[in-house]
Amino acid sequence: GFCSSNSVFYSKRKPLPLPQNPSLDVTTFISSHAHHGRIAFIDAATGNHFTFHQLWRAVDAVASSLYDIGIRKGNVVLLLSPNSIYFPVVCLAVMSLGAIITTTNPLNTAAEIRKQINDSKPRIAFTIPPLASKIAAASPSLPIILMEADTSSSFPSAVTTLSRMMEKESSSSRVKERVNQDDTATLLYSSGTTGPSKGVVSSHLNLMAMVQIVLGRFNIEEGQTFICTVPMFHIYGLVAFATGLLAAGATIVVLSKFEMHDMLSAIERYKATYLPLVPPILVAMLNNADAIKGKYDLRSLHSVLSGGAPLSKEVIEGFVEKYPNVTILQGYGLTESTGVGASTDSLEESRRYGTAGLLSPGTQAKIVDPDSGLALPVNRTGELWLRGPTIMKGYFSNEEATASTLDSEGWLRTGDVCFIDNDGFIFIVDRLKELIKYKGYQVPPAELEALLLTHPDIADAAVIPFPDKEAGQFPMAYVVRKAGSSISEKEVMDFVAKQVAPYKRIRKVAFISSVPKNPSGKILRRDLINLATSK
């Protein structure tokens, strides 16, 4: 059976072969799936596009150019950009050199980007002209490569442009450094189960295993068209649109950001078949279903993918009723599992409303009782632990966080509360970890608490998730005022809003006399969540 006597759950999906050659990089692996003349990427707004052939030529040219300016295996390259057809070119070129790509949310403030720069120490950054000033403010000496021609102003730190790099003829002078499967490919930031954001070290093997999982999920022989509106800087978008779906030969229509009208007209114009989303966009599509159906021809669409945050039963049921010809496919995963850890891949599997699906091929699970530490059998609820070829190597230069997240046998503590039913389907029922998910974006409470404590009127603070129909959750702060202070809710919210990206803003404040903590000083968040939601 899929659940053994030691309470390890094994994937019920067909195992997928991993490449055997120990020195193989993920870019070479993906490009070995040739799709020649087919279109890889289309910019939804301009119609600019790349065939697969043009894509791989561009990747090779950019890799050669990076090599020429001194980028080598192990160097970190920062990418700060909204979605574009060039985003994957940069990622693939960097990884093909054995260099490491670190992405960041374009909404982040200069101070937030500075933290990531200080931690990951990139040698160079790719960005678009409107965002270059953020990098310059975060790190004035970091060289910048502009991803679009700069028409307005010029940046002293800009060394070249991506288009110039892409024009480079393939050079034979480049010594191809040996890249091993175990070498680091990506460094995406996640707060994990506790504390501030940390660099998640994913190897070429991790990414190749994820490519195989994506290939197994979508059988794309006939050619399918995907809409890319979820961010490519996040693991969800990265493993789909910059790696996995390229191996599958899908055509990807890229939107620079989410905008409902643009997304729906792109589906109509390009006859898209697959639409990967985060739950808040499904909620919006449900709430406006009648108007949408009157205005756009969505007949080409056969699947909407939902991942990154929980999708409620009510939304699934409503969506199925309003869009009867569209199948909702679920994906569950973490940055730390380099993407999809479980998924539903067919209408039949998705009919089990509320499930996150079956374990990905090659992935194992345990359900661990948080109190006793014992692994539990089917239908019992506990913390989900995952093991397999997609699990990260660890957090970047943070042994303590790594040790408390990965055990010696390679199990990843997900911080999600789940059970697995008799047929192997995973149900996510709660979140044990601190993480707040606002519209699918990660908001680490510890970062906001640290910021609140810098306010002269605040003695102590705790930040918790508050449930919200549209966003999923938003950050709420419990604040202890200093003696004599009369700081208001609005002042607290404004203080934070000025210093963080908009998705991290605190949207509700309550004052208390002290923050409940356990004897070792850990905030009793569950008590505060109960307090916040009981009225």
Interface residues with ligand AYL (CB under 6 A)? 190, 235-236, 239, 307-310, 330-335, 339-340, 356, 414-416, 428, 431, 437, 442
Q: Say how far apart CA 175 and CA 164 lie, in whole Å.
A: 21
CB of 330 to ligand AYL, least distance (A): 5
Residue 126 backbone dihedrals phi, psi, to 5 degrees: -100, 135
503 DSSP assignment:
G
Closest CA to 244 of 234, 236, 233: 236
CB of 158 to ligand AYL, least distance (A): 31
CB of 448 to ligand AYL, least distance (A): 17
The alpha helices in 220-363, defined as continuous H runs, are 235-237, 245-248, 260-270, 279-287, 289-295, 313-322, 347-350
CB of 190 to ligand AYL, least distance (A): 5
CB of 239 to ligand AYL, least distance (A): 6
Q: Say how far apart CA 448 and CA 196 lie, in whole Å.
A: 9
Nearer to ligand AYL, 199 or 339 (CB): 339
Nearer to ligand AYL, 105 or 109 (CB): 105
CB of 258 to ligand AYL, least distance (A): 16
Q: Which residue has the tokens 């995406």?
A: 188
Nearer to ligand AYL, 129 or 339 (CB): 339
**Which residue of the chain is nearest ligand AYL when measured via CB?**
307
Nearer to ligand AYL, 84 or 337 (CB): 337
CB of 197 to ligand AYL, least distance (A): 10
Answer whether 191's CB lies under 8 Å from 197's CB. yes
Nearer to ligand AYL, 26 or 340 (CB): 340
Q: Which amino acid is at 427?
A: F
Nearer to ligand AYL, 229 or 330 (CB): 330
Question: Is the Cα torsion angle 250, 255, 261, 265 positive or negative in sign?
Answer: negative
Q: Say how far apart CA 524 and CA 372 lie, in whole Å.
A: 19
Nearer to ligand AYL, 304 or 515 (CB): 304
Nearer to ligand AYL, 100 or 309 (CB): 309
Nearer to ligand AYL, 129 or 307 (CB): 307
Closest CA to 362 of 156, 205, 151: 205
Closest CA to 411 of 380, 384, 373: 384
Closest CA to 200 of 181, 209, 187: 187
Answer whether 194's CB lies under 8 Å from 91's CB. no
Nearer to ligand AYL, 39 or 282 (CB): 282
CB of 136 to ligand AYL, least distance (A): 28
258 DSSP assignment:
-
Q: Kindly provide the residue ranges of all beta strands, DSSP E only, lying in 166-257, ordered along the sequence.
A: 184-190, 198-203, 225-228, 251-254
CB of 343 to ligand AYL, least distance (A): 7
Q: What does each C-alpha distance from 368 to 16, 245, 289, 394, 525 come to in angstroms? A: 27, 33, 40, 21, 20
CB of 233 to ligand AYL, least distance (A): 11
Up-side HSE of residue 120: CA atoms within 13 Å toward CB?
36
